[in-house]
Amino acid sequence: MTEANPLVIVGAGHAGFQLALALRQNHYDGSIKLVNNEPYAPYQRPPLSKAYLKGDGNLAPLVFRPKAFFSEQRIELIPAKAEAIDRGKKKIRLSAGAELQYGHLVLAVGARNRELRSPHEEGCIHYIRTLAETARLKERLLSARHVTVVGAGFIGLEFASTARLKGLTVDVIELGQRLMERAVTPEISQFFLRRHERSGVNFHFGTEVAGIERGGGDGRYTIALGEYIGHRRLRGVSDALRDQARQNRVCSECNGSGPLSRRAPCRERCTLSEPAVVLERSRKR
């Protein structure tokens, strides 16, 4: 792969970083460009809901490698957001209008939070996915007294445990009938339920968020709950797959290209067929 046609990796999480590292470890000598829409060196996300929230906010333990490592390994970090793919010209359009040529393109964009919509979103709703989001939440916890967690999956429970250690009152709202329902057996769910209840966490199963209202001028909010009735389980707040390859379907039927957020008409039936584009997803927690 020449400098003019580099291997471009979009996404600097576990999958993107590990791919770049493995290529160099296996003596790949071509140009590698790692597109990262955050201003930091690539870092681990799992500790955000655990050690980072509990600790002093030091970034050093989170990063995979210091920035000097990427220079030494000739892995160019590009702090920008990829917004569109031009398959014909083998280019991606970056934020601020810049373009980047590629020989091979890897989409390692991972997952994003399924967002809750509320007129009070800026005041009371927080997410744990990026360092910036978690830093804002960490600061807010200094003055909070009561937190509500939507979703009793791994990340929700990790945060609930951290919040209890900080002395906060914690309620967990879960659409399913038990915690970590999609990932573990009923026996394991019951074991962790007892552990969390002993620490003081309150659970509300079979329950969905019906609305969020401001409770007054003292920073409090009221969450209206509703009973969940139905057989189709909605995907959790914490894991709406950012599958840009499917949102920007590339196939012989639709010949999809353009904005990464666009969904082509044949979304349900076509498959990725561009040999120069690879979808990579990390399942590390």
The whole-number mean pLDDT for each consecutive block of 10 residues of the chain, a chain of 285 residues, reads 80 94 95 93 90 83 92 95 92 90 92 69 76 89 87 91 92 92 95 96 87 60 50 36 40 40 38 54 48
Fold exhibited by the domain 121-227 = FAD/NAD(P)-binding domain (3.50.50)
pTM of the model: 0.72
One fold for 7-44+61-110+242-279 and 121-227? yes
Q: What is the CATH number of domain 7-44+61-110+242-279?
A: 3.50.50.60
- Give the model's pLDDT for residue 43: 93
CA 164 to centroid of chain Cα atoms: 24
d(CA 256, CA 264): 6
Q: Taking every pair of C-alpha atoms in the chain, what is the biggest distance, in angstroms? A: 61
- Give the model's pLDDT for residue 211: 72
Q: What sections of the chain are H helices per DSSP?
A: 14-25, 51-54, 67-72, 121-124, 131-141, 154-165, 186-199, 244-247
Domain ranges, ordered by start, for the chain = 7-44+61-110+242-279, 121-227
